[in-house]
Amino acid sequence: MTNPNLFLPPEWAPQSAVWVGWPHLRSEWGQAFDAARNEIALFVRALSAVTPVRIACGSREAFGSAWFALEAEVMTDRVSLHTLPAGDIWLRDTGPVFAHSGDQSIALDFRFNGWGEKYVMSGDTMTAGGMASVERVQRQSHDFVLEGGAIDVDGAGRLLTTRQCLLNPNRNPGWTQAIAESELKRAFAIEQVIWLGEGLRNDHTDGHIDNIARFVGEGRVLCQHASGPDDPNAKTYTAIQSNLRAAGLEVIALPSPGRIADDAGAIAPASHLNFLISNRKVFMPVFDEVLSQKALTAMEAAMPDFEIIGLPARNILSGGGAFHCMTQQVPALTEERF
């Protein structure tokens, strides 16, 4: 049964805190491990200037490392460290989705199966409970697999997602589009599900929406267009724009990062859309000096009421995502600014 008092605020609504993951599994990061920690520390310093940050530390070593990197912010209470079960840093997917239920905060909790049982790590299925416990909020559990990066809402009844992810049999075998829509409407109290098809090439999440289309206002969405003749996602970007416009949305396309490969030469799922919006600022991942600067300029024009901050994320990308994937916001219950 749908909770009639449930409301999932859009990301640009006021936030009381943001959770951030801190790498502790060196085997998952290889040579990028220390550099990724440095990029995350830079991100946390910038974010904590506007929003309190809670860091999920999956080990004692991670706790000590985060303290050493962010001691000044910890000492001013802008950053707090929490040891809780966590496999890796991708809290958007392993953590709960924080929402409002009347005048209370609530943690929406879904089953997590390691992105279709491809990346099963100890602790990931307990991360959501740990975060909800720290926030001291009630959990509302749903008995189906869903990652937070697979959905995006505009706070006006619309939800974006992809068929590649939500209808993938490695998540919820037997789901049809009709069943998925019914479950999403029940879980999030939304009215319309807008479906896209495929996500980015080599995206281990099976096409999460937060890499390809993001709401930045009611019925207003950002996507990307191809950058260069060798852009590996050119056809995907064209299809996304067409489908979004067909759904009646206002569509703005930013330059993509183009062709970015990992150390082995494989195409990496880089996206300028894997940004975090927090208390009137947008933290956008930067992958190079040319295309990322063009994307920053385009985003400034598309979101004039927000300050756009570009920060390096090339090493974070080596782990599979960027700023949105590794965070989870806690919406504020009031308009108070933090």
State the catalytic residues.
325
Instruction: Tell me how far apart the alpha carbons of residues 317 and 314 are, in angstroms, rounded to a whole number.
Output: 5
Instruction: Tell me how far apart the alpha carbons of residues 279 and 9 are, in angstroms, rounded to a whole number.
Output: 13
Residue 169 neighbours by CB under 8 Å, 6+ apart = 175
Helix axes 60-69, 33-48, angle to 10 degrees: 60
What would the two tokens of residue 250 be? 């206002």
E-strand ranges in 154-306 read 158-162, 192-196, 214-217, 220-225, 250-255, 276-278, 281-286
Residue 324 neighbours by CB under 8 Å, 6+ apart = 92, 149, 210, 273, 274, 275, 276
Tracing tokens 């063009």 back to the chain, one arrives at 294
What would the two tokens of residue 2 be? 């749908």
Instruction: Please give the span between the terminal C-alpha atoms of the chain, in angstroms, as a whole number.
Output: 34
With beta carbons less than 8 A apart as the criterion, state whether 155 and 8 touch.
yes
Dihedral angle over CA of 286, 292, 297, 303, nearest 10? -50
DSSP assignment of 87-103, as one string?
Answer: SSS-HHHHS-EEEEETT
Instruction: Tell me how far apart the alpha carbons of residues 119 and 122 are, in angstroms, rounded to a whole number.
Output: 10
Residue 297 neighbours by CB under 8 Å, 6+ apart = none
What would the two tokens of residue 256 be? 């993509």
Strand-strand pairing, 250-255 and 276-278:
unpaired
Instruction: Tell me how far apart the alpha carbons of residues 329 and 97 are, in angstroms, rounded to a whole number.
Output: 8
User: What does the radius of gyration of the chain's CA atoms come to, in whole angstroms?
Assistant: 18
